[in-house]
């Protein structure tokens, strides 16, 4: 997928879902799959999976876990304006690239866990 190279969503970003079953909900990104252009968001898009007994699940059974969403269905939340926003890339004087909020111009940084 061509757009996968331009993914500007990163792990630990706070994002808002703008389409689909989970529309309007906010969560933290756990995983980004650049090849498939999908993101996994903490406690959103939960699905049930049947697991055989094994090392990680000695009992087995039905496990609930997060499923991936398309990155096009989420927007990064800006810390300053506290709204979902698109992202622009800006280059400072030293040549360092950073992600910038299109609404207020504030530099976006991924939250550390």
Q: Are the C-beta atoms of 75 and 43 separated by less than 8 Å?
A: no
Residue ranges and CATH numbers for the domains of the chain are: 2-77 (2.30.30.30)
Q: What pTM was estimated for this model as a whole? A: 0.85
3-state DSSP assignment of residue 106: coil
pLDDT tens track for 6-59: 789 999 999 999 999 999 999 999 999 999 999 999 999 999 999 999 998 899
* Cβ atoms 73, 18 nearer than 8 A: yes
Residue 29: its H or E element: strand 26-33
- Residue 1: per-residue pLDDT: 47
Condensed to tens digits (0 to 9), the pLDDT of residues 47-66 reads 999 999 999 889 999 999 99
Tokens in use for 61? 């059974």
| Residue pointed to by tokens 């300053």 | 80
List pLDDT tens digits, range 63-100: 999 999 999 999 999 999 999 999 999 998 888 889 99
């Amino acid at each position: 997928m061509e757009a996968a190279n331009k993914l500007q969503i990163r792990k630990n970003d706070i994002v808002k879902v703008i389409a689909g079953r989970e529309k309007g909900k906010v969560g933290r990104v756990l995983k980004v799959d650049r090849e498939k252009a999908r993101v996994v968001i903490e406690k959103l898009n939960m699905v049930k999976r049947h697991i055989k007994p094994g090392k990680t699940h000695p009992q087995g059974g039905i496990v609930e876990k997060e499923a991936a969403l398309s990155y096009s269905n989420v927007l990064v939340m800006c810390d300053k304006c506290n709204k979902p926003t698109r992202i622009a890339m800006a280059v400072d004087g030293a040549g360092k690239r950073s992600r910038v909020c299109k609404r207020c111009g504030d530099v976006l940084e991924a939250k550390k866990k």
